[in-house]
Amino acid sequence: MSFQTIPQLASLGWDDWFAERFAPFEAEALVPARVLADYGAEYLVHDGETSLRAVPSRNLRNDGGPLPAVGDWVALKHRDPAAAIHAIVERRTKFSRKVAHLETKEQVLAANVDVAFIVASAQDVNARRIERYLTMAWQSGAAPVVVLTKSDIAASPEELRLELESAAAGTPVLVTSAVTGEGVEALADQLRPARTGVLLGPSGAGKSSLINRMTGLELMKTRDVHRSGEGRHMTSHRELIQLPEGGMIIDTPGLREAQLWVGKDGLANLFEDVEEIAAQCRFSDCEHRSEPGCAIKAAMAKGELDEARLESYRKLQRELRSVAARSDARIRIEERRKWKQIAMSNKVRTKLLGR
């Protein structure tokens, strides 16, 4: 039996790549399913025929590894009342962030995303924020597309588009409105026939409204469904929605700050132009401030490089350094703990031997 041939799974994004990685679980009589929603204690998954509740098996919970995330393919055993998730199939792409302010533990926000829509509302275009989300997208492995929302209330959508295009560094830009429907087809087109997208952007940017417009249903609660109670209608969890004409999209709550889990590659990808120029500086550790033979300074003087762009490059570098410093500190603490334990067990042994 081969799962590749199950058409329902294909419409959920299943393909040869996953089938190949699923083979060992197939031998254990487990079946593949895709995680649609994460409710904390349990998950909603789809096995190609129906959606059902599932909980991680005891082994999966205890092995200290990552737990399933929305978009994951998992190996399932059917059981009443909730199926058991025995394993996570290798992820093709993943979005992750730091768990909490001081921790450097990784939390996977969404898995197996093909297209990352970086959403900015016409009311609030912030080029730096877009660059941060773009970095996150490059890191994930998904292809980014920048989406301008609420074009219906933009004074000059064309101007905004140009601004976004310069921030997006070659990434395609779509102009949309959930009110007039502008650009919504183009957005859905990116996901046909069975690709998975994710909407990323600040709270209130119009992510859920776009999904509602794409499905033609009020599936996702948006802010003005009920006017009582501030913040009540903000999206509170991540969920994968199947689109009527093919493809899937994951709604996410707006990240308070793009808490990035970035390595060097993501940075180099997005700032390729800056890095290329920097490679020509006389000193390899040039900080591009007042060093002689600085190619960055020269490019700026010639108008070939934007001051703001260099500043955001620096900002991301600073962020990367602080992430690295925090994870170093964590490793040091763990090391110390380990040595303390060893020292303690040595003491005990000495005592025992001495008796």
Residues that bind ligand GTP (CB under 6 A): 149-150, 152-153, 177-179, 203-209, 222-224, 234-235, 253-254
**In angstroms, what is the minimal distance from the CB of 153 to ligand GTP?**
5
- Tokens 């609030």 appear where? 124
Cβ distance to Mg ion smaller for residue 221 or 326: 221
CB 81 within 8 A of CB 54: no
**Dihedral angle computed from the Cα positions of residues 18, 61, 234 and 101, in that order, rounded to the nearest 10 degrees:** -110
Question: Is residue 208 a contact residue for Mg ion (CB under 5 A)?
Answer: yes
Cβ distance to ligand GTP smaller for residue 90 or 152: 152
Exactly one of 235, 258, 271, 295 binds Mg ion (CB under 5 A); that residue is: 235
**In angstroms, what is the minimal distance from the CB of 205 to Mg ion?**
8
**In angstroms, what is the minimal distance from the CB of 129 to ligand GTP?**
13
C-alpha 125: how far from chain center: 20
Cβ distance to ligand GTP smaller for residue 171 or 222: 222
**In angstroms, what is the minimal distance from the CB of 138 to ligand GTP?**
22
Q: Choose among Zn ion, ligand GTP, Mg ion, none what residue 274 binds, the Cβ cut-off being 5 to 8 Å by kind.
A: none
Stretch touching Mg ion by CB under 5 A, among 7-15, 227-235, 256-264, 328-336: 227-235
Whether residue 81 has a cis bond before it, omega within 30° of 0: yes
Pairing of strands 83-88, 106-111: unpaired
**In angstroms, what is the minimal distance from the CB of 118 to ligand GTP?**
12
Q: Alpha-carbon distance 344 to 214, whole Å? A: 62
**Dihedral angle computed from the Cα positions of residues 304, 309, 310 and 316, in that order, rounded to the nearest 10 degrees:** -150
- Assign 44 to helix, strand or coil: strand
**Dihedral angle computed from the Cα positions of residues 199, 203, 204 and 206, in that order, rounded to the nearest 10 degrees:** 0
Q: Choose among Zn ion, Mg ion, ligand GTP, none what residue 296 binds, the Cβ cut-off being 5 to 8 Å by kind.
A: Zn ion
**In angstroms, what is the minimal distance from the CB of 44 to Mg ion?**
18
β strands within the chain, DSSP E: 31-38, 43-46, 51-56, 73-77, 83-88, 94-98, 106-111, 115-121, 143-149, 173-175, 196-200, 239-242, 248-251
Q: Alpha-carbon distance 176 to 163, whole Å? A: 15
**In angstroms, what is the minimal distance from the CB of 104 to ligand GTP?**
25
Stretch touching Mg ion by CB under 5 A, among 192-200, 231-239, 280-288, 311-319: 231-239
Q: Choose among Mg ion, Zn ion, ligand GTP, none what residue 209 binds, the Cβ cut-off being 5 to 8 Å by kind.
A: ligand GTP
Question: Is residue 209 a contact residue for Mg ion (CB under 5 A)?
Answer: no
Q: Alpha-carbon distance 274 to 313, whole Å? A: 8
Cβ distance to ligand GTP smaller for residue 81 or 216: 216
Q: Choose among Zn ion, Mg ion, ligand GTP, none what residue 298 binds, the Cβ cut-off being 5 to 8 Å by kind.
A: none
Q: Choose among Mg ion, Zn ion, ligand GTP, none what residue 288 binds, the Cβ cut-off being 5 to 8 Å by kind.
A: Zn ion
Q: Alpha-carbon distance 14 to 12, whole Å? A: 6
Q: Alpha-carbon distance 138 to 107, whole Å? A: 17
Identify residues 125-184 at the interface with Mg ion (CB under 5 A). none
Stretch touching Mg ion by CB under 5 A, among 80-88, 105-113, 121-129, 204-212: 204-212
Q: Which residues bind Mg ion (CB under 5 A)?
A: 207-208, 235
